[in-house]
Amino acid sequence: MGDMSNLLHNATVDTLLERRSIRKFKSKPLGDDVIETLETVAQHAASSQFLNDWSAIRVTDPAAKKRLAEIGGQPYIATAPLLYVFVLDEHRNAAIASTKGVDTTSDTFTLNGSYRYSQAQNDAVLALHAMETAAYSLGLGCVILGSLLNDVPALIDLLNLPEYTYPVLGLAIGKPDQDPALKPRMPRSMQFFENEYPSNNETLLAGLQDFDEEVHRYYDLRNTERPVDTFSDQIASNAVDPGVTSKTVAPNAKRQGFRLER
């Protein structure tokens, strides 16, 4: 990571600078006070138009946790002391609107459109990130679980997600039982621009070679036998990954009542 000697430091900044994904947890359960704190902090995240259009499902049933681990292809999911799945949620708002006489089956109903879908998704991510940061500040560790989207229909069925909801991300939380190295971050010059986006790729990618080398020197605890692929190689691999794409998202979203073309 680049020179950080000029950074201002306080407890919040240092919590964010030191965050790393934790995939091995001590078995000790977390107290109700911790759970209440984390959930309340998540509720204080920003919300588009104050629609509060997200929800989170706390998964405690061992069989359900095991199934989530199967869906995600990651056994440690089943052992997390605290496990959430955040969902974008317009179902609750649709129910509220119905009590005020809104016809949710009409063409004038907008909570199932692509704009609200994307904004609700953003709100769910903001809430999850607030919870994650709060957990780290309490000495806990977390890992965000995009892998749960490997099989969205199975996830929807497992969590009994109703119309106008859609899973966004999972979050596993617990006392860390590992101490991974901080993953490198790309140079700020590649990610922060002034006034406008760089007009040529040579400027945009200046510093990429050094960043590739830094990433390649990083060793992931999931595979300590070899260095990590360079950042460029990771991007190239994911650029043709046939995993979660619009071809899979759109049909699953339609199943949940969303009309993403709107």
CA distance 247 to 174: 35
Give Cα 96 distance to the centre of its chain.
27
Q: Write out the DSSP string of 124-191.
A: HHHHHHHHHHHHHHTT-EEEEEGGGGGGHHHHHHHHT--TTEEEEEEEEEE-B---PPPPP---GGGT
Confirm if 244 and 151 have CB atoms less than 8 A apart: no
Q: Based on the number of CB atoms within 10 Å of its own CB, is 51 exposed (0-12), middle (13-18) or buried (19 or more)?
A: middle
Q: Which of 5, 145, 174, 2 is nearest to 85 (CA)?
A: 145
Q: How many angstroms separate the CA atoms of 58 and 82, rounded?
A: 7
DSSP state of 207: T
Q: In the prediction, which pLDDT does 246 show?
A: 58
A 10 A CB-CB count for 14 gives 13
Mean pLDDT of the chain: 93
User: How far is the C-alpha of 98 from the C-alpha of 75, rounded, in Å?
Assistant: 41
Instruction: List per-residue pLDDT tens for the chain, 262 residues long.
Output: 556 779 999 999 999 999 999 999 999 999 999 999 999 999 999 999 999 999 999 999 999 999 999 999 999 999 999 999 999 999 999 999 999 999 999 999 999 999 999 999 999 999 999 999 999 999 999 999 999 999 999 999 999 999 999 999 999 999 999 999 899 999 999 999 999 999 999 999 999 999 999 999 887 777 766 778 999 988 898 888 655 565 678 899 999 999 887 5
Dist. CA 251–CA 132, nearest whole Å: 30
The predicted-structure confidence for 20-61, as pLDDT tens digits, reads as follows 999 999 999 999 999 999 999 999 999 999 999 999 999 999
Q: Which residue has the tokens 């000029």?
A: 6
* Tokens read off for 56: 């989170």
Structure-token pair, residue 251? 């049909």
CA dist 231 and 175 (Å) reads 30
Is CATH 3.40.50.280 correct for 13-180? no
Residue 177 tokens read as 């039982």
User: How many beta carbons lie within 10 A of that of residue 65, not counting itself?
Assistant: 17
Domain ranges of the chain: 13-180, 181-256
pLDDT of residue 240: 83
How high is the pLDDT of residue 226?
Answer: 75
Give the residue from 182, 198, 204 showing the smallest Cα distance to 4: 182
